[in-house]
Amino acid sequence: MEFPEDLKYSKEHEWVLVEGSVATVGITDYAQDQLGDIVFVELPAVGDKVSKEDAFGVVESVKAVSDIYAPVSGKVVEVNDDLPENPEMLNEDPYGDGWIIKIEMNDPEELQDLMTATEYEEYVAEEKE
Amino acid sequence: MNRTPLYATHQALGARFVDFGGWEMPLQYTSILDEHQAVRERAGLFDVSHMGEIELRGAHALAAAQELTVNDLSRLRDGQAQYSLLCLPTGGVVDDIIVHRLSSERVLLCVNASNADKDFAWIAEHHHGAEVINRSGEYALLALQGPRATAILTGLTPLPLPQVPAFAFAHGQVCGRAALVAHTGYTGEDGWEIYCAPDDACALWDGLLEAGRRFDIRPAGLGARDTLRLERALPLYGHELTDETTPLEAGLSWVVRFTKPSFIGRAALLQQRERGLTRRLVGLMMTQPGIPRQGYTVVHDGAVVGAVTSGTKSPTLGKAIGLGYVASTLGAVGTQLGIDIRGRVIGAEVVRLPFYKREC
């Protein structure tokens, strides 16, 4: 299970990569492992507004439907257009080709509420018990 | 939560578990898609020991089973089995079952895990002079399924498997352990269901996996079992079948033998057949992106006309498929319908069932 050091993590198992005012968002390795084979994604459109902790999209495994939650608020400036055709990228490369959206943040202060890699790893270990 | 005798074995294999009808069962070992494909192309081994077994015994066993079930047992000889249903007087389904005729005085019913207690109470209440015995605790059950299943089993048993046609069964040794070996399954592939003593389950499981290694067998969980049965359009209780759906609505009229003079539910089902169905189970295939799921409503011209009972993305076909009840007038193959997925109506088409059928 990977927990890259340069990312921040939400309790809903999304990761955030911050570059200036833009946050790239995906689901974590733990999340994709829990979901199993992902076969469908539903993404927002560029320009959509997202709010921290609100669902902005959906991933579906063979078995179940799960919401994806925004770790920060802002405007969607880019979506990973390859995902709808290749949802398995979320399983195969959750921190790379499986990125989901980029958000122009309204309030970078919200990043304070996210976890570091170490904190998230502990959080996952507790959830597993 | 109940556990089968193979729980520790599944743990050691790295299974992820799921609560199914009060049983902690393997959902998957590696991936539902991998396990699904293994069963379609090679072989898979399932622990389905959670299934219940109820025996009817005595001089009245056959007559009681005839009255309790909608299929016709008079068509069975010793060593033959049939798919059947327990129905309520209303025609609603208590459970779907496999009936095994062990002898003229012994009938073994294999029932769904989640219904086992309810079924036992129902059967005991309508015993018609037969002794009713809950044997669920006396059997473990392994399902060996896939095009290579017979080849794998052949090396492990002296039973003449070619002489055991589909829906027949035989008693004999498997891996040196006593077993009832039935040519049945729930995957749409050829395969066998092996009933054995709980104490023998681990030895049989290990023996089957070991012998299956050169056939590239995989342990398979309930996740793959569900996608496999759905592609073959085999109903699942709690989804396509409930006490409020009848066999006729579920497309199971072939199971209901009105030629039998009497069985529980006969009058109601006969009346429904004469009056015609108001709804029926259909196959749905999405024509737009989206996956149907149980409970989603089916719409037509802005009106709700039915509901999805099961759905997934078919691993074999690569298409989103589902089963659901719709108004009978909209059940014809080719009918364009919509499915309400998270508030948006997504296109779907009624298609012929099953979605998948193996080549014989």
CATH number of B211's domain? 3.30.1360.120
Question: Is the pLDDT score of B97 beyond 80?
Answer: yes
Distance separating alpha carbons of residues B250 and A17, to the nearest angstrom: 50
Domain region containing A26: 8-105
Find how far residue B143's CA is from the centre of its chain.
11
Task: Kindly state whether residue B124 falls inside one of the protein's structural domains.
Answer: yes
Could you tell me the CATH number of the domain that includes residue A34? 2.40.50.100
Task: Kindly state whether residue B252 falls inside one of the protein's structural domains.
Answer: no
Residues B171 and B108 both lie in one domain: no
The reported pLDDT for the residue numbered B184 is: 98
b or e along A93-107 (b: 16 or more beta carbons within 10 Å of the residue's beta carbon)? ebbeebbbbbbebbe
Question: Is the pLDDT score of B148 beyond 70?
Answer: yes
Residues B131 and B143 both lie in one domain: no
Measure the CA dihedral B233/B112/B79/B168, to 10°.
Answer: 20
Per CB-CB distance under 8 Å, the chain A contacts of B32 are 36-37, 61-63
Stretch B178-185: mean pLDDT, rounded?
98
The reported pLDDT for the residue numbered A127 is: 87
Residues B84 and B73 both lie in one domain: yes
Stretch B23-39: mean pLDDT, rounded?
98
- E strand spans, B124-270: 131-134, 140-145, 169-174, 177-182, 191-196, 218-219
B220: left (phi over 0), alpha (psi -120 to 50) or beta: beta
Residues B69 and B130 both lie in one domain: yes
Q: How many domains does chain B have?
A: 3
Task: Kindly state whether residue B248 falls inside one of the protein's structural domains.
Answer: no
Which residue among B28, B226, B313 sits closest to A36, beta carbon to beta carbon?
Answer: B28
Task: Kindly state whether residue B237 falls inside one of the protein's structural domains.
Answer: no
Verify cis geometry, omega within 30 degrees of 0, for the bond prior to B354. Answer: yes
Test the A interface: residue of B291, B296, B321 with most A CBs within 10 Å: B291
- Beta carbons of B226 and A65 less than 8 Å apart: no
Task: Kindly state whether residue B267 falls inside one of the protein's structural domains.
Answer: no
DSSP code of A115?
A: B
Task: Kindly state whether residue B167 falls inside one of the protein's structural domains.
Answer: yes
Predicted ipTM of the assembly? 0.92
Task: Return mean pLDDT, chain B.
Answer: 98
Q: How many domains does chain A have?
A: 1
Instruction: Work out whether strand B93-103 and strand B16-20 pair parallel, antiparallel, or are unpaired.
Output: unpaired
* Segment-wise mean pLDDT, segments of 10 residues, chain A, 129 residues: 96 97 98 96 98 97 96 98 97 98 97 97 91
Sorting pLDDT into bands at 50, 70 and 90, what band is B360?
low
Question: Quick check: A92 contacting B, CB < 8 Å?
Answer: no
Question: Quick check: A65 contacting B, CB < 8 Å?
Answer: yes
Domain region containing B334: 278-360
Stretch B9-13: mean pLDDT, rounded?
98
Distance from CA of A57 to the nearest CA of B (A): 11
- pLDDT tens digits, residue range B297-323? 999 999 999 999 999 999 999 999 999
Task: Kindly state whether residue B92 falls inside one of the protein's structural domains.
Answer: yes
Task: Kindly state whether residue B256 falls inside one of the protein's structural domains.
Answer: no
Helix residue ranges, H only, A64-115 = 89-92
- Beta carbons of B291 and A63 less than 8 Å apart: no
Stretch B62-67: mean pLDDT, rounded?
98
Residues B45 and B143 both lie in one domain: yes
- Beta carbons of B226 and A36 less than 8 Å apart: no
- Beta carbons of B291 and A40 less than 8 Å apart: yes
Stretch B55-64: mean pLDDT, rounded?
98
Residues B87 and B127 both lie in one domain: yes
Could you tell me the CATH number of the domain that includes residue B290? 2.40.30.110
Measure the CA dihedral B339/B237/B186/B98, to 10°.
Answer: -150
